[in-house]
Chains A and B, each alone.
Chain A
Amino acid sequence: MPVRPAMLFRKAMPEGFGAVLRLALRLSATAVLASIPLQADTVCIIIHGLGGLPEYEENFVKWSEGLEEAFQQGPAAQVHRLDGRSLRRDDILTTFQDVTASLQPDSEVWLFLVGHANVNLSQYKFNIKGPDLTGDDVEGFLNGLGQRRAYLVAATSSSGGLAEQLGAPQRVVVTATRSAFERYPPLFLSFLLESIESAEADTDKDGKISLLESYLFSRNKVARWFADKGRIQVEHPLLDDQAKVRLGEKKKGEQAQQPEPSVVGLLASSAYLSTPPEKAYRTLQARELAQQRIGVEREISSLKFQKAELPQEEYYKKLEALLIRLAQLNQRISELEGEQ
């Protein structure tokens, strides 16, 4: 039973642990299966805002260019980099309209906000020339995308509230901070950029970096950066997946050992910031085996979604069989291709 000291003159100490843990909901197997990536048309919008100080401005520009390059080389068919130092809110809203009008039904949209932001009267404000771009503006744009998948990365200060405001089905919202009160310019995006080319970030060893992998990598790097410097961590990134699962939220009492919500089957795990170059097989047989391999990989994914429903022994028996099959296919493909 927790105790508290009595104090003369003073009221009892307030409850220290304000944050309420949001219960993470496990996605259903069907919802997850539906999220297996298709070859969709991908559009990426990167907006960098006012720097205030030269060193911030330099970073914001550098990071935006890094994102632009990564998306041009990787998943995006179109990349729009907008400079909020010269473009005004109306210009950006016009771009939003134009992009929306140009989308295919199966298009996917990525939106990056890079810069300073603040929250005023509960309204998120991304600092650009003239009137700020607001959380409501971004919400209007994302809602206008209908059922299309959208990925927002708000790499700004005070961005935490966007996860709550903008979380929705078919949408992933990543914020560099977990609340409006984390007001320092975040480092998060620098690590996210690092993740795109990092083997360490590729935790499922499939040769490409998903938004989930990138988020987890960057989150760890942020924490370590502050720990190594011996500083109090002033930014805690969040990831909201379809308003059902939220990663990185403050735990009750901070030190409590509570598991993160399951990351199996999140939409963020099938949205890629980098993709490996298309593999050209030299033999027909290898090509056929590669097709079979895709099938086995799908079966493994499907099985993993059923993990909670299956008895453990049965699950691992089936998994083992599939993994052996996959390993054999890979071995055979390598042999055919003359690889080591």
Chain B
Amino acid sequence: MTAVHTEKFTNLQKIFYPGSIAIVGATRSVGTVPYDIVNNILKSDFQGIVYPVSPREQFISSIKCYKYVTDIKDPVDLAILVFPSSVCHLALEQCGEKGITSVIIISAGFREVGGKGVERENQIREIADNYGISFIGPNCLGVINTDATCSLNASFARRMPEAGNIGFLSQSGALCTAVLDYARAKHIGFSKFVSFGNKADISEIDLLYYLKDDPQTKVILLYLEEISDGPGLIAAAKNIINESGKPILAIKSGRTVEGASAAASHTGSLAGSDEIVGAAFEQAGIIRCDHIEGMFNIAIAMTYQELPHNNRIAIITNAGGPGVLTTDAVIHEGLRLAEFTPETTEIFRRNLPKTANIKNPVDVIGDARADRYSIAVSHAMKDDGVDGVFVILTPQSMTDIETIAREICAVAADYKKPLYASFMGEADVAAGIDILQRHKIPHYSLPESMSRAYSRAYRFKQHLRTASRPAPVFDDIDISRAHAILDAAIKAGRYYLPEAEAVQVLEAYGLPVPAHGVASSEEEAVALAGKIGFPVVMKVVSDDIVHKFDIGGVILNITTADEAGDAFRSIYGSVSEKMPEAVIKGVFISRMISEGEEIILGIKRDPSFGPVIMFGAGGIFVEICKDVNFRVAPVDERTAEEMIKGVKFSAILSGARGRVPKDIESVKKVIQRLSQLALECPHIKELDINPLLVLDEKNGCYVADTKIML
């Protein structure tokens, strides 16, 4: 940890565990943010001293007020600024003079409003830098710490949430209040709850690192509208997940073009490309969620219970239909139905009615009461062939819902295995659900949500088992050759690198380029083709032509010297006729590879995440098939493998329908070399290799065509 990071961590500790707080800009006007902040801190039973700072008030809620923060004689750990944005800089300056280094700026009216707001945000950032102040906000709801040793509600949320093990970080303040209300109804508790607003200083990355070391936090939830440091976020998430084992669940809004536009006007956010966000999250091990309910469905599973060791599920139900629905959901999520041991089956046979289904899914029949559920659930939990139990209940007239709920809670407490429940319905099952939720049994209204939650928890457990290794740095790279070509092109004001030069950049990075050369006369072309070895392909070389095919600038499968001469003349003739203004620099000749599966590889620079590598099914229908995926560079071997396995085309490469498997190992290497190229050659804006022809196992792969945009 660097000195700056240590200082920030110390300041964050004072934000979450202050011994004393100054609320700067406090008022006695009921119904205002400044009033509610003071009131919430007092109501939350804060274990420290509170100093309201107000230019006019003598006292607020019987507590003496100070005109300026500098009037307070004793040291102050945390200042909360609730002044209008136009004077926040004055208040912050005084905090600096007072020696306060931890600040929350609640006030709005900064970057999110544009114009003068941007200037104000820059101004407060500058003041903070001068005094070594770390601050959360501006434009935020505040911070909540439920730890009883502090008990702080420094926000204008309606109430303090229950204590729990979920750390919640949100860029949207308004969403926070909705989340608190949602969580309250389901008895979901939080360890730390932070609205970080414009993140002008303390970012989600700083907060993630803080929660990594927070003993009260087991699971971290993150709501983001804007990713300003993509690589930093990935690195932080990887570090936190790998070192602490704490899952990170995230919602990144602005998935649609319309959503991105709304985000921009709301918090001055710019949404990145959604596919790249998804890929980056997956790469980092972040579990991406689509909505708040889905996020909490997974969060409660991971917070309340052990992570699943495996995916064999036992279903206990009192209704056939829901049992089948749950089975479908289990299979759909890639889970398996557990097979009971003969001992378990025998216990079920002896203790359940004859009409009961004693195989998985176990149907204890509609008239089942708590005793029957107890036998089925406890023995399913005991069975070594079962990794998790799903309990389904529908409310029949004789179903003792609350007793069954209590019985389930008691059984779950005896085992270190996941047990989730779905009491289907609404009004009649409400009291039973309440019991389950109070006892921290993950409850879901639908079996689909339950299966999805288990599946995500299981996948996370698997992710923890397979730690990634650093991406390799190849030492046989001729970086100066690549840079010389790219620098020369940029100096000449070109934005496109012709294939003859592009292949040299790829060659410099050890990518498999077939033998090639450029000929400027028919004689040279015939000699060069002979030297390369037939068959060859010829393509016109010109800075003025991007789409060579359309104007007769490409001839494939040239098999003899005579054909080589004809092809050279044909290209010159056709191009000169169809694009007389184009300057022809010669003809690019390369060995023609006429076999292999076509894949596409590419580089794109994302404004949030930097260089991104693309892999997928290649050929001329790439845009139609859209069978591609992305990863942020650097790409290690495991990630390269995930990229390959992540597309449907992977089955063809692996040898579908009895075909010989293709050389996937060589593709993995190419992906990793391309990743190094993307990182070391920032001149390249976009790069396409389409197709890369992949030959049979152990025979390698070849770049058949490439484009580089600068």
Q: Do A and B bind each other?
A: no
Chain A contact residues, CB within 8 Å of chain B: none
